Amino acid sequence: MNKNPNIVKTVNDDIAKRLGITPEELRPFLMYKTYKYGGDFSITKALRDSKVEGVPLDTAAERIKKQLEGSPFIGKIETANGYVNCWYNYDRLLSLIVDAINENYGATDYGKGERVMVEHTSVNPNKAIHIGHLRNASIGDSLSRLLRKTGHEIIVTTYTDDTGAQVADNIVGIKFLGMPAEEKGIKLDHYFGDKVYTKVNEAYKTDPSLLEKRSLILKAIENGDRDILKIVDDMVEKVILAQLETLERLGVYYDLMNYESHILAYKFWDAAFNLLKEKEEIKLETKGEKKGCWVFKKADGEEKIIVRSDGTVVYVGKDIAYAMWKHGLMNGDFKYRKWITQKNGKMLWTTTLDRDGTEKHPKFNYVKRSINVIDITQKYEQEVVKEVIDKFSGGKSEYTHYEYAVVALSPKTAEMLGVKEEDKEFFRMSGRKGIYINADDLLNKLKQAIVQETKSRNKDLSDKECEDIAESLAVSTLRYEMVRTDPKKILVFDMDEALKLESKGAIYIEYTLSRMSGILRNADENIKDASRKKELTKQEKKLLLDIFLFPDVVETAARNLDLTVISNFASEFSSDFNEFYRDNPVIKAEGEERSFRLWLVKTSKIVLKNASEILGIIPLEKM
């Protein structure tokens, strides 16, 4: 028996069979929670049938109604203006939930056997994580959690550019400006991002010869100069470890860290370049402004330079080679080594230049799908990579650019964090200008704003316990805000708004979870199963319908890679639960009614806890 069934599929398979269509064909015709128009769900197929067959709407709708009559899962059917409005048979619905409910409820086998690589965060190793990176990391981590829930085999990677100008800038600061490699009392990633970066870029303005030294350092890195590489490797590793502290604080973990220098050292680009030429996917221009360049012709006819006339490879070329490695489309692999055990107990592996490496290691590449969380400004370059992968794999590999827009701050939040700009609707950060908000600082401000409120609500808790609760709430709030809206839209973060209970964000969801825990504590009894009441109230039906739909909500979110489906569900489910609790006594109820409602609370907690886990919200027993 399937331990993770999508019980909605059980019902929809029956409906589809009665309508003579496949479950996939049925999906676009289903509308759930259509209380306003009548029914628990509506079927819109008659609207299509009427146009295609040239029959009246009522005729098409009545035909569907007759086809559905006799379904054990439907209690009542009505038609209105072409819509077929259905009410579930709640006895059968409850039976399905009771059979399926477990601590992992919501998980399904939709993606079983499919290997997916999710790459996210990928911060340059010269600065601290800022809130723009937080959106990337939160999206990537929640996508990974979501796809694990649907049975996919997930490999989470992050990529570090340890060969770029930013790294060379740091070496200039240490080697030529005499700056120390670290400063006591300052987290190393903050030190390099806030102090070294600033001083070096100011020095370039007054001493242009330093730019020549940076060029020499970049060439030394490319040529494998051991003295320079030793400084680079030591600095990069320490900065990454400092960045990982922030990410672990947010509950973000990885399976593998890849380095750009290793992609170059393993000559993956050379292999990819030869394949591209062999398959005639790129050509050498012999005239015009692109003379001497190797170019790739996109499907829309536009030509993208891959190799410049001087022989240097543009970034998209390296991305193509890296993507080919991910999907196993060329010969060769990295050597790997174990690096650190992360706070969740998971081993973080890295690529290595050590010839031996580690013989036994997990299988990292040869994935069917790769999801690359990269900001929206890289859309064009990512389209090029996708086209190359589609061609080389014959459509068998799926390269997905998961694009997201920038994060900005409301003026009030920016001022709270020490930055003020007049006449701005929101504050935009700029890494190049050195204007950004570190994630650690933002988390600490959030925590500080929450801790006093936590103490006032929990007089019986120690300062340490209140601090821990505030930390969890700060992390949960930030994570939720990063994924609750359309990733393609600019996210304007407002601290005050995020912390309002009325906004129905992470704090509201946490409040609902702690309320559920409190009810179950006060019940002080072993709740085993649902004892059916004679009649369900409107709020009980609403909550049962939410619980029933949850596995399909998770699967729909995974199909569409849409985290807003989960964030909206968690918020709406919390609202439905609080409405139920407001109007339906639980502890003070008696007999069968009390038993059923306690079971409903227990089951609701499982659902909301599992939805919260996908979003990175840390469930709390008290707050």
**How high is the pLDDT of residue 539?**
95
Measured distance CA(611)–CA(397) in Å, rounded:
29
Closest of 98, 76, 54 to residue 595, by C-alpha? 98
Q: Left, alpha or beta for 409 (phi > 0: left; psi -120 to 50: alpha)? A: beta
pLDDT at site 502: 73
Give the residues across from 22 on adjacent strands.
none
CB of 115 within 8 A of CB of 235? no
**Percent helix / strand / coil, the chain, rounded to 5:** 50, 15, 35
The number of CA neighbours under 13 Å toward the Cβ of 331 is 4
Q: Look at residue 150 and tell me whether its pLDDT is greater than 50.
A: yes
- pLDDT level of residue 26 (50, 70, 90 thresholds): very high
Q: What is the pLDDT of residue 579?
A: 97
Are 566 and 63 in contact by the 8 Å Cβ rule? The answer is no
Mean pLDDT across 396-420? 84
Cα separation of 129 and 239, whole Å? 10
Q: From its phi and psi, is residue 423 left (phi > 0), alpha (psi between -120 and 50) or beta?
A: left
Confidence check: pLDDT of 200 > 50: yes
Measured between alpha carbons, how far is 286 from 289 in angstroms, rounded to an integer?
9
How many CB atoms lie under 10 A from the CB of residue 260?
18
Which range among 34-38, 307-311, 462-466 shows the weakest confidence by mean pLDDT?
A: 34-38
pLDDT exceeds cutoff 70 at 356? no
Distance, CA of 20 to CA of 507 (rounded, Å): 46
- Please give the pLDDT value at position 1: 46
Query: What are the structural domains, with CATH classification, of the chain?
Result: 7-88 (3.30.1360.70), 409-498 (no CATH), 501-615 (1.10.730.10)
Residue 310: partners with Cβ closer than 8 Å, 6 or more residues away:
none
**Residue 544: its pLDDT value, please?**
96
The residues, any chain, with a CB within 8 Å of residue 579's CB and separated by 6 or more, are 539, 542
User: Residue 63: CB partners within 8 Å, gap ≥ 6?
Assistant: 46, 49
pLDDT digits (tens, 9 = 90+) for 430-439: 555 555 678 9
**Pairing between β-strand 491-493 and β-strand 74-80 as defined by DSSP bridges:** unpaired
Determine the distance from the C-alpha atom of residue 128 to the mean position of all C-alpha atoms in its chain, rounded to a whole number: 20
Distance (Å) of CA 172 to CA 141, 230, 232 = 34, 14, 11
The count of other CB atoms within 10 Å of the CB of residue 442 is 22
Q: Which residues pair with 32 in a beta bridge?
A: 41
Say which residues have a Cβ less than 8 Å from residue 258's Cβ, sequence separation at least 6. 157, 158, 159, 160, 322, 334, 350, 351
**What is the chain's Cα-based Rg?**
28
List, in sequence order, every residue forming a beta bridge with 117; answer none if it has no partner: 155, 370
User: Tell me, what amino acid is at 349?
Assistant: W
**Long-range interactions of 289-298: CB distance < 8 A, separation 24+:** 296/384, 296/387, 296/388, 298/383, 298/384, 298/387
Q: Given this model, what pLDDT does residue 433 score?
A: 52
> Is pLDDT at 389 greater than 70 in this prediction?
yes
In this prediction, residue 591 carries a pLDDT of 87
Residue 372's contacts (CB-CB under 8 Å, 6 or more residues apart) are: 119, 120, 382, 399, 400, 401, 402
- Please say if the pLDDT value at position 504 is more than 90: no
- Tokens for 73, please give them: 């899962």
The end-to-end CA distance of the chain, in Å, is: 39
Report the alpha-carbon distance of residue 105 to residue 26 in Å, rounded: 24
Say if CB 137 and CB 483 are below 8 A apart.
no
Give the whole-angstrom CA distance, residue 74 versus residue 86.
7
Please state the separation of Cα 314 from the chain's center in Å. Answer: 28
Burial of residue 208, with CB atoms counted within 10 A of its CB: 0-12 exposed, 13-18 middle, 19 or more buried: exposed
Stretch 228-238: mean pLDDT, rounded?
Answer: 85
Q: Is 250 left (phi over 0), alpha (psi -120 to 50) or beta?
A: alpha
Residue type, 174: I
Any idea which of 47-56, 315-324, 351-360, 444-453 has the lowest mean pLDDT? 351-360
pLDDT confidence of residue 189: 94
Note whether 89 and 127 are within 8 A (CB).
no
Instruction: Show the tokens assigned to 535.
Output: 């009649």
Is the pLDDT at 406 greater than 90? The verdict is: no
Taking residues 581-600, what's their average pLDDT? 93
Q: Can you give the length of the chain in residues? A: 623
* Beta-carbon contacts of residue 592 (< 8 Å; ≥ 6 apart): 531, 532, 533, 534
The Cα 91–Cα 99 span in angstroms is: 12
What is the predicted pLDDT for the residue at 291?
94
Q: What number is the average pLDDT over the span 306-324?
A: 91
- Sheet containing 30-32: which strands, arranged edge to edge? 30-32, 41-43, 83-88, 74-80
What's the pTM?
A: 0.93
In angstroms, the CA 139 to CA 554 distance is: 15
Residue type, 510: E
Arithmetic mean of pLDDT over the chain: 90
Residue pair 436/123 in contact by the 8 Å Cβ criterion: no
Which residues lie below 8 Å from residue 36, measured CB to CB, with a gap of 6+? none
pLDDT at residue 24, as a whole number: 94
Residue 175 — very low, low, confident or very high, per pLDDT cuts 50/70/90? Answer: confident
91-109 pLDDT, tens digit each:
999 999 999 999 999 999 9
Decide if 80 contacts 38 (C-beta within 8 A). Answer: yes
Lowest mean pLDDT among 133-142, 266-275, 546-555: 266-275
Amino acid at 248: E
Q: Is 445 exposed, middle or buried (0-12, 13-18, 19+ CB in 10 A)?
A: middle
